[in-house]
Chains A and B, each alone.
Chain A
């Protein structure tokens, strides 16, 4: 292979890779956080519509399942999960040795470590075991009041938990039952701004769209909030009542609202040529009046590119085959870095390790 061809190939490769990746580099990143959406109900249908419509915004999205996975990875990198497991195991041994005070201390460390991370979002059950053990140890140590509070925390995390008769004594089971009796089921709702800011900072993203289905009465409400990390607060919260057969329309209305809010938040430009403001349907309510202001501010006709991957998994979770696309988009920074690294390797290796110096032999006669 001629050297000129190789050199040209290198240049072409660099240009193509950098070009392909540069576009991704400049986009702001937003994440989805779905709460209490089972993926099969009306809320899921409406949310899917919202997600589809928000794809058109020129930004990078992290779907909900990816976001949770990244939170878990972040906790793993920080060593929180392993340390918590270590303290849990240590507490169990101490517990078996009836060193209750020390066991309680270990269980507390375990729960504290887990609470420092984001276990509550991606796997609350991880917190259940150390808390339950903590409650048991507290009960056995005679601190019934603390044990009751701990058991209530356990029940809040895992409302359907039943203590196994083979492992827990009748007194413990009774104490647990008494503690959790009368507790209602508290559905997960939109987390507090402080929690959301932690999430944004942990993942280094610009903001979050948090979705939650709530059922205050007979009807389900889909509530969507746009959280801006910069301000540490929501810039818009929209709620829509979910009616069977009207989820698409509800989702579209929500999307239009949120689109304006997100565009205003990120300084994106929207094409609003035929996006006339329509009154909200019956049952819809705006919880944040700032949305209309930011959305109406920009009526210039612009083009918004679509470079998003499929983020349907925000509701349904990771699906095999779609993870590569999502991962690639999430880790957009890998591509320019990889481009630089590969280009450097492609230049360096042939020049050093794999390089074989040759000469052409020319015979003149």
Chain B
């Protein structure tokens, strides 16, 4: 027996220590596996169409659940669903930073069908707080622009606007999808002749401005110098920098409209804290392209050098540089200018490129060739020449159209382009205008463009201001669906024709049920992601009639109406309809009626 009282006398059993150490190692293991480190948040704020009911109103909502899908460019889809709750929010965990994603939020009904949907453009998730406003609208319907209370979301009002500028609209403009997925609206006009929608525009009747639409938020980006100039005097209230909407006679105009505005030469343009950049005035060379964007008649900072309506816009090889072609009134004097996506600026191209013109047909043929064909010359004459150029932009005459004409519809397809119909004669007297049945085919042949007018490649009806859309049929063949247009100055058409470019043939889609439900001209046709065609708006009557507020979806191969008529948010003609990368269609600008701009200025179709 021990003579020493030792306490405690119990040694730790070996197996306990081993287990303890093993346990500690096991604790470490999860740390060596992929360790997700939360470095921020992506806040998605859903925004809804103005005037629409709250989609989540407990009494009226058809939405039972929300489904969020994060579609990674390289990492598949992360998806989660959650029921609606009083917090009006839901969380999805652990979306990797650094990857390019697209967010899809869908409101599902009780049987799991999406009734509302919001789809973002692709963007990269970054550390910190990422915040997007996501336009959330009814599936299968047209929606007004989003309405967001600035008081609730100051971020929104700092970044977005839901009005076109200036004066809330434009018509006969151009819309293009930029490489980053945004849509740019360029030029056009807002001053049309109430008695003749297609009347030539006089001096100072075109727009130089361009503006950028964000498909994610369903709104236009607000730029620094954007202002609401209610009285059209060039000065407007907040959010521009010019302070209150004061007029020319306002003694405060030069120095008082904006605190800190320094107009040292009292020419109305200042520097310093105002938005006008350097102290320059109209006519200064540095004012040409944005330094003094107040020169841009519509107060935009993104302005072309010349005002252009009925213009064309083609991307050159790398999508950075675009060529802006023709248009009136500026295109008659300066035939083209360049737009740089990287610098977001316009600059004039050499006037010697080709003869100035408007209402021309322009298209890319293949990857590297461009054509500019026909149009109306500076003297009002009908042009029939075809100018071709490589993307290095050096135009030369390569031939003539089968018939000189203006206002033709042009479509591109792989390896070629078609110039369809148009006016063979265009007079200031609408009754003297003559629509054309001609189709000219352009195909790449080596480093040249082959211009062809085939005997069977003619429309069954003369058509001007028709719509045309290229698609691939079930057999993989390129087809072009042409619908509507003016057959003559007094007659609009509701029929459609199917052009088979490779075969050099045209079929009139005259089977029962084929064709549009109503005659339309200066409407739009947009190929939807599901392969069908959205026909929207257009004038219903000739020359000075009202625009339609209906749309329909056609099967392009048969011309049969699959859905419609659907009601649009506004009567709209002379607008643009652009399929955005998020699968929705932006219908922007246009006329609602004689001399009347469409309102709301744009709407969004959620297929």
Question: Interface residues, chain A, CB within 8 Å of chain B?
Answer: 1, 3, 6, 9-10, 12-13, 16-17, 20, 53, 55-56, 252, 256, 259, 270-276, 278, 303-310, 322, 324-325, 328, 342, 345-346, 349-351, 354-365
Contacts and interface: CB of A to CB of B under 8 A. Distances in A.
A13 to B, nearest CB: 5
B88 A10 contact: no
B441 to A, nearest CB: 50
B138 to A, nearest CB: 14
B387 to A, nearest CB: 51
A359 B37 contact: no
A307 B10 CA distance: 9
B248 interface: no
Contacts of B27: 9, 12-13
Complex A-B, nearest 9 residue pairs according to Cβ-Cβ distance, in ascending order: A350-B35, A357-B97, A358-B94, A361-B92, A365-B46, A56-B6, A359-B40, A275-B3, A357-B39
Contact of A360 (B3, B28, B41, B46): B41
Nearest to B101: A361
Nearest to A349: B32
B20 to A, nearest CB: 7
A325 B94 CA distance: 43
B31 A272 contact: no
Contacts of B56: 365
Given A355-B37, A356-B37, A361 B68 contact: yes
Nearest to A17: B24
Contacts of A365: 46, 55-56, 66, 88-90, 136
Given A20-B20, A307-B12, 7 more contacts: A270-B4, A276-B3, A305-B8, A310-B14, A322-B14, A359-B125, A361-B44
- Grouping DSSP codes into helix (H, G, I), strand (E, B) and loop, the B interface class, with mixed when no group exceeds half, is mixed
B89 A362 contact: yes
Contacts of B36: 1, 3, 356-358
B31 A364 contact: no
Interface in B29-56: 30-46, 55-56
A358 B37 contact: yes
B4 A271 contact: yes
Interface in B54-78: 55-56, 66, 68, 70
A278 to B, nearest CB: 8
B4 A256 contact: yes
B7 A303 contact: yes
Contacts of A362: 41-44, 89-92
A328 B20 CA distance: 13
A277 to B, nearest CB: 9
B6 to A, nearest CB: 4
Contacts of B89: 362-365
A359 B95 contact: yes
Contacts of B428: none
A153 B485 CA distance: 121
A135 B93 CA distance: 80
A7 B93 CA distance: 18
A357 B12 CA distance: 42
Interface string B89-109: 111111111100001010000
14 contacts: A273-B5, A303-B6, A303-B7, A328-B17, A349-B31, A349-B35, A356-B35, A357-B37, A360-B41, A360-B93, A361-B91, A362-B90, A362-B92, A363-B91
A354 B24 contact: no
A353 to B, nearest CB: 9
A276 B98 CA distance: 76
Given A349-B31, A362-B43, A357 B92 contact: no
A325 B14 contact: yes
B102 to A, nearest CB: 12
A354 B32 contact: yes
A256 B3 contact: yes
Contacts of A305: 8
Contacts of B41: 359-362
A272 B4 CA distance: 6
A364 to B, nearest CB: 5
Contact of B88 (A1, A306, A345, A364): A364
Contacts of B45: 364
A144 B66 CA distance: 103
A60 B12 CA distance: 14
Contacts of A363: 44, 46, 66, 68, 89-92, 105
Given A324-B14, A325-B17, A361 B95 contact: yes
Contact of A259 (B4, B39, B43): B4
Nearest to A305: B8
Max chain A C-beta neighbours (<10 A), residue from B6, B24, B39, B103: B6
A344 to B, nearest CB: 12
B130 A359 contact: yes
Contacts of B24: 13, 16-17
Contacts of B10: 306
A364 B46 contact: yes
B127 interface: yes
B35 A324 contact: no
B447 interface: no
Contacts of A345: 32
A360 B94 contact: yes
A361 B125 CA distance: 10
A252 B2 CA distance: 7
Contacts of B42: 359-362
B24 to A, nearest CB: 6
Max chain B C-beta neighbours (<10 A), residue from A275, A328, A342, A346: A346
Given A20-B20, A362-B91, A354 B125 contact: no
B111 interface: no
A56 B68 contact: no
Nearest to B80: A361
B475 interface: no
B11 interface: yes
Nearest to A1: B30
B97 A359 contact: yes
Contacts of B2: 53, 56, 252
